[in-house]
Amino acid sequence: MSLSIESGVAVPMRDGVTLATDLWRPAGNGPWPVLLTRTPYGRTSTAHLGNPKLPDLRVLADHGYLVAVQDVRGTGDSPGLLEPHRFDQSDTVDTLAWLAGQVWCDGRAGMWGASYMGFPQWQAATQAPPVLRAIAPLMTSADPYRAWHSAQGALAQGTLLNWSARMAMANLSRQEIDGPSAEIRGALGDADQLIGRRDAIVRGLPWLGEMLAHPDYDAYWQSRSALERSAAITVPAFNLTGWYDVFAREVVRSYTTMRRSGGSTAAREGQRLVIGPWGHGDGADLGVFPDRSFGLAGSVKAAAITQAHLRFFDRWVKGHDDTGTGARVRIFVMGVDQWRDEDDWPLPGTRYEDHFLHSAGRANSSAGDGRLHRTPAVEDRSDSFSDDPRHPVPTVGGATLGVDGLAGPTDQADVELRDDVLCYTGESLEAPLEVTGHVTLTVHVSSTAADTDVTGKLVDVFPDGRAIILCEGICRMRYRSSLRRPQPLEPGEIVEATIELGVTSNVFRPGHRIRLEVAGSDFPRYDRNPTAGGRVTVNRIFHGPRHPSRLTVPVIARTA
């Protein structure tokens, strides 16, 4: 490699602010196509060089791309105050225009980057700047609402507040204030404290209160969603996530939305999707977790992320033919622990199979001893569970941000011992059963409160007793029909709600069992429902001929 680095170039924005940018130049004199990434985590961070979930920028530059790495406004050496999403679009479009105007740029550009670095890519793509030919948003969301909330309305406390704490500390450090750091950290530990302590933390993160003031999917969020403007996006995207990534279902939703309604043939046909057995945070990319290992094939390195990016950018930025660009969809199938190429997502030929909830032989059971059967119960029964905000059901693994070490395929055995968690378990399987796709839970539920949460987890029960989480979801019941128009419950009234439990790919091996967990909280992955005012809520799940509550799983015929 023979690279040169021009550090701290001041790139001007339309309002006169200049953003610090490093330029990694390939050997030679150019002109070259450009690959841009914009980060709030510091453009000089070694994460850009050594994180296996990201392409190695040195390899990108050696392959004939000029690589630009920029501190977003209000971070690193770029002036101002970080305000998430406010300047993502305009600053990215201005940066691309500046790059296109340089003599060493050949007029073609792509973008890449994970997590927050994906937001600017999607926002810029809605403006369709001529220089932008392709994007590679990894482990991110094209809809900021669903980055910070669940798919059905609960605040993603473990994501928003952990990330906010990190950025608030950076803001205070940059401003060299003796700000209320301890108070910020304390308040960010619990969403319930934010309202009362908002004045104390406003200097560190003034934008957080604005976000929390919009719990519904209203105009504030809709204006920030790239997927609301998918028809304006004309560039293809390389989408990558992990089954235990906090943004897994959102990466998949970006892919399926663009396949359906992207604004050009390239945007629709050029979509690529890669999903491995990984989490979001650092260290969750080896395919090895305390309660479950996926072997050497499950590591990010085995997925050859840099080479996949090069094939994608060579096709769409440099304009090479698409020979050897790989399958449209590549997934790691857990259970058999193998990579597999697929034609599309959802997988063609998917069959959706219902597993109905049954009580374990006695009416109005409140114990976690329910059953799953392929046929509905012949008698109407119900199971109850309480939701005590003082003692919420703890998050144990799953698709979390991972900064607290909780992400991944973790054993749920201790959680299942709680008397506020209902468990419904299928019979021991005699043959392999592959479940790949979107999982849902349809419940008929009543509550003593005007609003409550219902959570669901799909679990793989191993013959040795381990109960390994595969995917999960939560519905804040006032959003059961619409995120835009909340509808309170009538206490005691039975309503139907379908809960999105996310995406997975897993072969349940012979001797394994399918299990569903149902509860009223999953904390701190999601915040505690504030509606009950700290009081205990009693919820009831109904099942039988009149109320066919059921788990629906996407079944694939082959298992190899």
Residue 140 contacts residue 114 (beta carbons within 8 Å): yes
Residue 376 CB neighbours (<10 A)? 18
Which one is catalytic: 48, 63, 280, 358? 280
Classify residue 303 by its DSSP letter.
G
Helix, strand, coil percent values for the chain (each to nearest 5): 25, 30, 45
Stretch (H or E) spanning 245: none
Other beta carbons within 10 angstroms of residue 173's beta carbon come to 12
Distance in angstroms (rounded) separating the CA atoms of residues 88 and 500? 29
Asked if 1 contacts 58 with a C-beta cutoff of 8 angstroms, the reply is yes
CA distances from 476 to 148, 152, 222, 537 (A): 14, 6, 19, 13
Residue (of 454, 474, 471) closest to 514 by Cα position: 471
Is the Cβ–Cβ distance between 457 and 469 less than 8 Å? yes
Contact assessment for residue 513 and residue 429, using Cβ atoms and an 8 Å cutoff: yes
Pick the catalytic residue from 115, 230, 254, 505.
115
Helices 88-100 and 118-125: crossing angle in degrees, nearest 10, is 80
Is 444 assigned a catalytic role? no
91 an active-site residue? Answer: no
Contact 345, 273 (CB under 8 A): yes
Q: Give the pairing type, strands 537-543 and 453-461.
A: unpaired
Clarify whether 115 is annotated catalytic: yes
Question: Out of 22, 77, 91, 245, which one is annotated catalytic?
Answer: 245
- Give φ, ψ of 486 to 5 degrees: -65, 145
Helices (H), 436-492: none
Residue 64: CB atoms within 10 Å: 15
Q: Which residues are the active-site residues?
A: 115, 245, 280
